[in-house]
Structure 1
């Protein structure tokens, strides 16, 4: 890949995640403070991500893969998204705000697959080239959080500007997309079934009892994950953390560092222990939040944020590799689509609804909540999932070939080249 292409793809990935991080992290605080919503409404706003994740496979499979070059669709979606984000920043009530953000997420979530597709199509060796491009996305998310913290928008009640900042970045990426390398449709003229789009061709992998347990655990662990996404920023601001959005970017920095260390952990631990450590990190994170404050126990707030790297990498990334290992060559893509739909679609949808109801239940005043009880609930859910996983997941000491579709149960990691 030549230098010009690499720079274009890097800029694309940076802007893609800068846009998301610019408004998504502080959405809960904005809704509470600016639109005076209930926590249930906050949860409903965050479940737009799940709706977008469910719609995305249909969009990509029925339109992007068949009719138009990916870079042009990316450009159009981001230009439309820029308008929606700007309009959302101007409204002053939730009922008007929600349709804008719902349509926006339905348009945005397919772009996550599009930027990956555009990148992979330009690469001769994705296993070594893609991580160097994808890391710019995490950097974009971090820069967005640091910018919000530096400008002090949370403390000054100006979080509406986050949507305008994201809108400007979205317009930039929309226009820039038309200068990206050409990525024509790959399935023009082919028939695509609903089964293909949802990854159901890989459903046979669930006959593996240990994988079925992992699959159900993945859905269940997304319930406490929704608590983190929806209510961490309002919580941090309520306990008095300054520049909370900027501090939350430590989670993404942690994610990067643990991603680099994962090959070493794989060799020493194997899949079962990796998954278990990831789930244990969820429990510890929420216990930290429950007993933290902005004074003597401030370290717990920072610790809970930094644990994001272990929570995400050890469970979700390990799970993607475990899925890839068991699915076999024929069903790799379908299996990844199925697990993504189950987690970010079904799991996060349930979690977004439940988290909002829980936070409303433990509201103690006009702008105060019993955060200790609130955080102990996702901690208990994560602990229950971890316990069932440890008791029922079968630990095998021999690794089956990764190319054997629906292989017998195994907890050994595949080669680290599978990481990307």
Structure 2
């Protein structure tokens, strides 16, 4: 079977698992379980806690001792059991711990998915920058398909979304063991320093000012991503009393999935933008796309303001891809081959780790601050988030002084 197709299936399932609940869990926790903003934010922040150390830790394992595809499979099998259990729990305290452990095993798989893809493509002499984005697009398609299944079956406010995710995780867990072997590159028998033996190689990237600043802003943009993940569907669900017959209220997940459709288009544009403009300008475009994403939410509604909501969904594609996918490729280029899995894990620590933790708890606090007598006032909420992104957009070009040279961009793969 064609290896690109096999990686395509892996990417599809990887993000199907996440898309089954990521955008709709907040609505379930709010509408069905009646959790507060801080409680919901704390559950989403479990992804941040896990990503602070688990991607790096399992990246070390994949770099040093165990094949990356096997680590990927074991993580998904464990996640399948935890998600199934989570679907049966309604108590906040217990659900928090289950979702925390689920985050421990899921968050590393995003970086491992990239590592396996890069490893397999390079071994077969494919161009990673050119050939990976079309494969990664199918991860986004998997995310969209999961969202549509949840929405069309009216599972956005039920625990069935967790059962669906558990089933997909079990399938991927088994499938991962059938993928080509991605042996640890560190197992060559050569003498290594203590830091190399412990897998701390990727942290040397912080010695380079360019990379230290890149990771700092990756952290801050990770917070913006978590805000969007946690509250977009909950925001639309809150309009049920005012616009009960609107498309946005009846099918919130389908509307939000337009964001992922936009993603698929912007992913394909990444090689062109990176080669022509460089990571600095691409990340700056991402930052201001977040400003528009949140600002349009603050101005829109499911009635006459529906076009603004739709435009916000389209803008999301640039906001996410130009930061997340481009950032991963940038790290892939800048890191030594021997520490790539650890470097991808470090990128995840900064974005879906510390950044997601800040975004989860911070957004929960903002939500509760603008909630009066049980009613959330969404316009000031979204404008607060837009102001945060705008501040990043002003500071970023002043401090990240990376000079892009088109002639030497991405020489390893182009």
Q: Give the structure 2 partner of residue 222 of structure 1.
A: 222
1:45 to 43, 46, 53: 43
CA distance in 2, matches of 1:246, 1:27: 15
Q: Secondary structure at the match of 2:352?
A: helix
Q: Give the structure 1 partner of residue 245 of structure 2.
A: none
Seen in structure 2, the aligned counterparts of structure 1 residues 109 and 217 have a Cα distance that, compared at 3 Å, is closer
Which range moves more in the overlay, 327-336 or 59-68? 327-336
* Mapped pair 1:291 → 2:299: yes
Contact 2:127-2:413 at 8 Å conserved across structures: no
Q: Give the structure 1 partner of residue 117 of structure 2.
A: 119
5 Å matches for 1:3-402? 3=2, 5-123=3-121, 124=124, 125-127=126-128, 128-154=130-156, 157=157, 159-188=158-187, 193=195, 196-197=199-200, 199-206=202-209, 208=210, 213-240=213-240, 241=248, 242-266=250-274, 269-320=277-328, 336-366=344-374, 368-394=375-401
CA distance in 2, matches of 1:109, 1:92: 23
RMSD (Å), alpha carbons = 2.9
Contact 1:148-1:162 at 8 Å conserved across structures: yes
Contact 2:134-2:268 at 8 Å conserved across structures: no
The answer for unaligned runs of 5 or more in structure 1 is 395-408
Seen in structure 2, the aligned counterparts of structure 1 residues 187 and 217 have a Cα distance that, compared at 3 Å, is closer
CA distance in 2, matches of 1:91, 1:332: 38
Offset of 1:101 from its aligned partner?
0.8
**CA deviations over 1:380-406 (Å, ceiling 9, x no partner):** 111111112244454xxxxxxxxxxxx
Offset of 1:351 from its aligned partner?
1.6
Q: Give the structure 2 partner of residue 398 of structure 1.
A: none
Q: Secondary structure at the match of 2:372?
A: strand
CA distance in 2, matches of 1:248, 1:163: 18
Higher relative contact order, chain-length normalized (CA < 8 Å, sep 6+): 2
Contact 1:201-1:334 at 8 Å conserved across structures: no
Seen in structure 2, the aligned counterparts of structure 1 residues 178 and 280 have a Cα distance that, compared at 3 Å, is closer
Q: Secondary structure at the match of 2:104?
A: helix
Please report the TM-score for the alignment, with normalisation by the length of structure 1.
0.84
Contact 1:18-1:140 at 8 Å conserved across structures: yes
CA distance in 1, matches of 2:114, 2:270: 21
Which range moves more in the overlay, 79-88 or 114-123? 114-123
Offset of 1:212 from its aligned partner?
5.1
Contact 1:14-1:136 at 8 Å conserved across structures: yes
Aligned length: 397
Offset of 1:74 from its aligned partner?
2.9
Please report the TM-score for the alignment, with normalisation by the length of structure 2.
0.85
Seen in structure 2, the aligned counterparts of structure 1 residues 417 and 41 have a Cα distance that, compared at 3 Å, is farther
Offset of 1:27 from its aligned partner?
1.4
Q: Secondary structure at the match of 2:307?
A: helix
Contact 1:275-1:315 at 8 Å conserved across structures: yes
CA distance in 1, matches of 2:231, 2:64: 39
Q: Secondary structure at the match of 1:199?
A: helix
Offset of 1:62 from its aligned partner?
4.5
* Mapped pair 1:410 → 2:403: yes
